[in-house]
Amino acid sequence: MELLLDPGERLSRAELGALQLERLRATLRHAYEHVGFYRRAFDKAGLRPEDCRSLADLGRFPLTAKTDLRENYPFGMFAVDRSAIRRIHASSGTTGLPTVVGYTERDLDTWADMVARSLRAAGARPGHRVHVAYGYGLFTGGLGAHYGAERLGCTVIPASGGMTARQVQLIRDFEPEVIMVTPSYMLTLLDEFERQGVDPRSTSLKVGVFGAEPWTEEMRHEIEERFGLDAVDIYGLSEVMGPGIAQECVEAKGSLTIWEDHFYPEVVDPFTGEVLPEGEEGELVLTSLTKEAVPVVRYRTRDLTRLLPGDARVFRRMAKVTGRSDDMVILRGVNLFPTQIEEIVLRTPGVAPHFQLRLTREGRLDALTVRAEARPGADPGLRAEAARSIAAAVKDRVGVSVAVEIVEPESLERSVGKIRRIVDLREPRP
């Protein structure tokens, strides 16, 4: 496929480094001068924006956490006059206050450019129809995808989330080449295609741009096989911008290229906050390089990944996100992520790609039950074997004993957006 690049993607590594440093210094100045939180944090650390003379100097500046955004709810982190804000988004905040972000006209422009670039890297082209099934609203998924697809010159079908039967109808009738949706909701759509007796491989879809939640290579394989399309990963978070911070290039699947001309990545040790060398797994920390309304300096994403050198582009890459530090279950001293279970469940014959993790407490010990659905039509006699094989693989690869139940097809709750894998039934809650 012909590789189309925008000017930012054509920079040399040296040009990129110089641009990043210039933008970083401007961001630090902007944050220090216009956001009380950053001024206090830098002063406390004894640092001035001018102290950042090289990209490595950024590591001396303080980290910013989600709690800092919450403590400045709603607009305390904004660096521009309210009249310059064109849009507000917020993350749902399952606990406590939501985190609120704003965008100036230029920020919205950059965001659309970055999503357009992401879509192009995914294999979308001007003239393609793009079915957007990320939710529209305060969540950045729907509107972020929408304006990026328009910017690329695509025709947008703003389906938003939910009303699954209608989604399938629209895909059949409007014949989009591209779909943007969470991977878990794509599986819900798959069920619906089958319920309607339509072969999912018969659709016009060529590319799926999946993100907003962790998903594994095994899930990619499942979706690509069942739908006959290229499934690629898009990453982002509302606090930093929304979707379009990093994107898997369709010609180089397996990791995501970070749009480093706008977002400066670091990976730190989640416990000490120390910057880790390239290749080591830790928590992704992002600094915005061009944002006006809400600049973010060293924002702790809580997402666990590794930085890698560039391949498909000049920019560095990140490995697919293993999980969020908040989604990590500590079971009898062993750390476990839902993605580890996903890998195992999806490799088990006779088991569908639908599973849930139930946490309970037995006496003083926490216990985890993996509930996975049998594939429709699979021999019920094989369920006990599948359960044994999953338990053995978890013991072997994660190092902890779990119970496994293989449940009836279509008995587990389906995703309508971001899926909730963990059901915590522990009493009292830890």
Residues binding ligand DLL (CB under 6 A): 91, 134, 139-141, 211-214, 233-238, 242-243, 301, 303, 321, 324
Interatomic CA distance for residues 167 and 150, integer angstroms: 20
Return phi, psi of residue 100, to 5°: -110, 135
Closer residue to ligand DLL, CB minimum distance, 177 or 303: 303
Residue closest to ligand DLL, measured at CB: 211
Closer residue to ligand DLL, CB minimum distance, 192 or 342: 342
Q: Which residues pair with 131 in a beta bridge?
A: 157, 179
Residue listed under structure tokens 């926490």? 366
Kindly state the tokens that stand for 187. Answer: 């599986």
Q: How far is the CB of 186 from ligand DLL (least distance, A)?
A: 12
Closer residue to ligand DLL, CB minimum distance, 139 or 315: 139
Q: Which long-range contacts (CB under 8 A, 24 or more apart) does 299-303 make?
A: 299/63, 299/64, 299/65, 299/239, 299/240, 300/63, 300/64, 300/65, 300/66, 300/268, 301/237, 301/239, 301/240, 302/66, 302/270, 302/326, 303/237
Closer residue to ligand DLL, CB minimum distance, 41 or 419: 419
Interatomic CA distance for residues 332 and 316, integer angstroms: 37
Closer residue to ligand DLL, CB minimum distance, 32 or 259: 259
Closer residue to ligand DLL, CB minimum distance, 99 or 164: 99
Sign of CA dihedral 117, 121, 125, 131: negative
Closer residue to ligand DLL, CB minimum distance, 67 or 202: 67
Pick from 152, 202, 205: nearest CA to 177: 205
Q: How far is the CB of 177 from ligand DLL (least distance, A)?
A: 18
Q: How far is the CB of 322 from ligand DLL (least distance, A)?
A: 9
Q: How far is the CB of 183 from ligand DLL (least distance, A)?
A: 9
Closer residue to ligand DLL, CB minimum distance, 49 or 323: 323
Interatomic CA distance for residues 8 and 20, integer angstroms: 11
CB 206 within 8 A of CB 195: no
Do the strands 230-237 and 207-211 form a parallel or antiparallel pair, or are they unpaired?
A: parallel
Q: How far is the CB of 259 from ligand DLL (least distance, A)?
A: 13
Interatomic CA distance for residues 424 and 11, integer angstroms: 48
Interatomic CA distance for residues 213 and 196, integer angstroms: 27
Q: How far is the CB of 248 from ligand DLL (least distance, A)?
A: 8
Q: How far is the CB of 276 from ligand DLL (least distance, A)?
A: 18
Q: How far is the CB of 92 from ligand DLL (least distance, A)?
A: 7
Closer residue to ligand DLL, CB minimum distance, 49 or 214: 214
Residues 6+ apart with CB under 8 A from 165: 192, 196
CB 266 within 8 A of CB 278: no
Pick from 317, 247, 287, 310: nearest CA to 13: 310
Closer residue to ligand DLL, CB minimum distance, 76 or 98: 98
Q: How far is the CB of 237 from ligand DLL (least distance, A)?
A: 3
Q: How far is the CB of 36 from ligand DLL (least distance, A)?
A: 24
Residues 6+ apart with CB under 8 A from 405: 369, 370, 371, 372, 387
